[in-house]
C-alpha cells in the first residue's frame, strides 16, 4: 500500500548493504541460513519490476567478499529480472559514500556510526565495498515466475551440528529444530518475522 500509485515511476533505487537478518548461532554463509540472502535479492529485483520505469537505475552496495548477500546473488537476481548490469564501482568512489553506516541490529544502540570518519562499522573492509549498478531494460516478453530457494526441511535441521545445535541433544535439539523450521516456513510464506 505504501507504493500504490508509483507503478512504473521510480527512476532510481538504492539498496545499501542488504541483509536478510541474522539467525543466532549461524554465520551468514552457513547453508542452513544462506538461502534467505539469495531469496532477498531475487524478490527485491522482482518487486522492482513493478515500480522502476524502463531505463531506471538500481544501485546495490555490498562488500565483494560478503558471505551473506553475495555479489553473485545481486548480479544474478538483477539479470534474471531484466536489469542490465552496467557498472561495478568501488563504494569509496561513489558520490554517496559518506553516509553513516550502521549494523542494523541491537549493536547500533552502543556502537553508532561516527559522522566524521564513519569508522564505527568495521565488520568488513571498506576498500572491498562495491556498488553494483543496473538499468531496467524490460524486453516486453513475459518472464517465468520468480524461483526461490526453499529452506532446509526438519530432517536436515535435526542433522545439523552447528550453530544453536552445537550443544543441543534429545528433546532440546528437537525443539530448536522445530522452532527454526516453523520460522523458516513463515518467512518463505511471505510473512514478516521480527
pLDDT score at 115: 44
pLDDT score at 119: 53
pLDDT score at 21: 86
Inter-residue contact 143 to 82 (CB < 8 Å): yes
Per-residue pLDDT tens over the stretch 125-135: 677 889 999 99
Q: Please tell me the distance from the alpha carbon of residue 3 to that of residue 26, in angstroms, as a whole number.
A: 34
Per-residue pLDDT tens over the stretch 89-143: 998 888 776 666 555 566 666 655 554 554 545 555 677 889 999 999 999 999 9
The DSSP secondary structure of 40-86, one letter per residue, reads HHHHHHHHHHHHEEEEEEEEEEEETT-SSS-HHHHHHHHHHTTEEEE
Per-residue pLDDT tens over the stretch 35-92: 999 999 999 999 999 999 999 999 999 988 888 899 999 999 999 999 999 999 998 8
Q: 12-23 burial string, b = 16+ CB within 10 Å, else e?
A: ebebbbbbbeeb
Per-residue pLDDT tens over the stretch 13-29: 999 889 888 888 998 89
pLDDT bracket for residue 173 (50, 70, 90): very high
Amino acid at each position: 500500500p505504501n507504493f500504490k500509485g508509483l507503478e512504473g515511476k521510480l527512476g532510481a533505487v538504492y539498496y545499501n548493504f542488504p541483509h536478510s537478518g541474522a539467525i543466532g548461532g549461524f554465520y551468514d554463509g552457513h547453508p542452513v541460513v544462506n538461502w534467505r540472502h539469495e531469496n532477498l535479492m531475487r524478490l527485491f529485483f522482482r518487486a522492482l519490476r513493478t515500480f522502476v520505469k524502463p531505463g531506471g537505475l538500481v544501485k546495490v552496495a555490498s562488500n565483494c567478499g560478503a558471505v551473506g548477500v553475495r555479489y553473485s546473488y545481486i548480479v544474478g537476481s538483477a539479470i534474471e529480472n531484466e536489469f542490465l548490469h552496467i557498472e561495478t564501482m568501488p563504494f569509496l568512489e561513489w558520490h554517496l559514500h559518506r553516509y553513516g553506516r550502521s549494523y542494523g541490529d541491537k549493536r547500533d544502540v552502543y556502537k553508532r556510526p561516527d559522522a566524521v570518519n564513519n569508522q564505527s562499522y568495521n565488520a568488513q573492509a571498506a576498500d572491498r565495498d562495491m556498488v553494483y549498478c543496473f538499468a531496467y531494460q524490460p524486453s516486453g516478453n513475459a518472464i517465468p515466475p520468480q524461483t526461490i530457494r526453499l529452506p532446509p526441511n526438519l530432517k536436515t535441521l535435526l542433522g545439523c551440528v552447528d550453530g544453536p545445535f552445537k550443544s543441543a541433544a534429545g528433546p532440546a535439539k528437537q525443539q530448536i529444530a522445530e522452532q527454526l523450521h516453523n520460522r523458516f516456513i513463515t518467512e518463505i510464506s511471505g510473512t514478516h518475522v521480527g
